[in-house]
Amino acid sequence: MEYRELAVPGAFEIAPKQFGDPRGVFLEAFKAGPFADAVGHSFDLQQVNTSVSAAGVLRGIHFADVPPGQAKYVMCAKGAVLDVVVDIRVGSPTFGTWDAVLLDDVDRRAVYLSEGLGHAFMSLEDGSTVLYLCSTGYAPGREHGIHPLDPALDIEWPTTARDGTPLTPQLSEKDEAAPTLAEAREQGLLPTLDEVRNYVSSLA
């Protein structure tokens, strides 16, 4: 299992070793020791979510108030998605920076994003099934969103599906109504870098 930190500090791509034979494939999707070695603390699993999305479905950008925030360990069990992490921490040198990883049922990579980061993905195939291991449970009063098509972020969302057909972004009403990054900052919704650092350091 190999960990690679993304352009957004606190987010990692995880590449598992796969063992295949005529029966199929086996891999370790999560392992506590390597995770703690890479991230600096253990993962406190509190909830596991699953979403199934048609091609073009765009979910996010989602984040939660810090503390406690919500760290996520994200995998695609079926299909393919472009998974995106956004630095929304006010005061961060990389504020507004994003990075992306292709998650699919071929390479079976995962993405970990720490508390205080924004998360989104676009489905590249009908039936794409995403699993989210979450460090906190669902709490609607402290969960927020940023519009994933915010021009200031300029995220390079795919325009073609895995099979080469054109993609049209499909957003929920909630995500469609989400503020831009600048508006979320003006509204005081975003976590600060110091808040996130203080909370994450308490987990070590």
Query: CA–CA separation, 23 vs 181, rounded Å?
Result: 47
Distance CA(20)–CA(2), nearest Å, equals: 18
> Which residue in 23, 83, 15, 95 sits closest to 53, CA to CA?
83
Helix (H, G, I), strand (E, B) or coil at 177: coil
The distance in angstroms from the start CA to the end CA of the chain is 21
Exposed, middle or buried by CB within 10 Å (0-12, 13-18, 19+), for 173?
exposed
Three-state DSSP state, 51: strand
Catalytic residue among 62, 119, 144, 147: 62
DSSP string for residues in 130-156 = EEEEESS---GGGEEE--TT-TTT---
Q: Indicate the DSSP class of residue 179.
A: P
73 catalytic? Reply is no
Marked catalytic residue, from 119, 132, 144, 147: 132
Q: How far apart are CA 121 and CA 102, in angstroms?
A: 9
In what helix (H) or strand (E) does residue 202 lie, and over which residues does it extend? Answer: helix 193-203
Q: Is 199 a catalytic residue?
A: no
Residues noted as catalytic: 62, 132
